[in-house]
Structure 1
Amino acid sequence: MKKLKVRYKEFILVKNIMENIEIQELLQKHCKEIINSFISKDIDFSIIANISNSSFHPKLPSDLQDSLSKFSIFSLAGYTFKSAHIKDESLCFEAGFGKDNFGSLVKIPLNSIFQIIKDDNIIFINTSATFDNIVKNPKNNSMNLFKSNPNNKKFT
């Protein structure tokens, strides 16, 4: 029982660290720098992303959407790589899905990217992407704005 309590405390500590806004911002910045570096150097790569907050335009047909898992891998090579760019703190790229190669513009928030992979080597990992209640846009979080005001310190 004691070992279980220790593991639970460790889990809570890690969860608190990963939910920390400053840590999230550092991870997002690092992710952005790696992706921008790969794109500028023409280095193709893959990502594993939590697609819960991702968007597809046009929307994927329901059979294709249902075939994606919560954590999906995307290989950015060829045309998909050439279309890749970062916009509004999200990785955007065009990709084809399914046997008919249904085309869609994919937009994945940087803080939803769990891993960046190159040739089966993990280059970057963001464990905060695994938490469902993670703040997806830390800079626009109203609680952060509230806390950042020195006059509100007595309320936090």
Structure 2
Amino acid sequence: MLKNIIENDDFKNLSQRHIKDIIQYIIDTNTEFSVVANIESTSFNPDLPNDIKSNLNKFSLFTLAGYTFTTVRIEDDFLYFEAGFGKDNFGSVLKIPLYSILQIIIDENIIYINLTATVDKFNNNLEKNSFNVFKNNPKNKKFN
């Protein structure tokens, strides 16, 4: 039963709206915070060097404090911020889909948990999924 709920697109959208409202409230109150995000759907601009990216966990903690907090913004259904990585503080702007944020944390206290961040179908490459749907149509078997 739980699987049917957390894998439902309507529930994902509900969670995403809730996350957006919570983070916007936190930003508006000028409160520094952290997020744990599923990096499978996160983009980095510029992309992180392989030696740094390979050391990130699937669910990575990002602390939005100091300079990083001043760069935080929500646009559409994404959280953006700039962060430094590695010993040389390699700078990159992260673009995280709100639905892939697993936890929101303030002062080491988890204030929100989002189970949809663990759902692979939401975090995999959408283009790849669209092609699989296309291939599953019996009329398109010749493209396999």
TM-score bracket for the superposition, by shorter chain length? 0.7 to 0.9
| TM-score, normalised with respect to structure 1 | 0.77
In the alignment, structure 1 segments of 5+ residues that lack a partner are 1-12, 137-141, 143-156
* Aligned amino acid, residue 37 of structure 1: Y
Q: CA deviation at 1:120?
A: 1.4
SS at structure 2 position matched to 1:81: helix
Partner of 2:51 in structure 1?
63
Question: Distance in 2 between the 1:41 and 1:92 partners?
Answer: 18
Q: 4+ runs of 1 displaced by more than 6 Å? A: none
Bigger Rg, structure 1 or 2 = 1
After superposition, give the CA deviation of every residue in 1:42-75 in whole Å (9 maximum; x if it has no partner). Answer: 0000000001010000000000000101000000
Matched, 1:114 2:86: no
Question: Distance in 2 between the 1:29 and 1:83 partners?
Answer: 21
Matched, 1:86 2:101: no
Partner of 2:136 in structure 1?
none
Number of matched pairs: 125
Matched, 1:20 2:20: no
Question: Distance in 1 between the 2:58 and 2:21 partners?
Answer: 25
SS at structure 2 position matched to 1:122: strand
Matched, 1:123 2:111: yes
Percent identical across equivalent pairs?
Answer: 54
| TM-score, normalised with respect to structure 2 | 0.83
In the alignment, structure 2 segments of 5+ residues that lack a partner are 125-129, 131-144
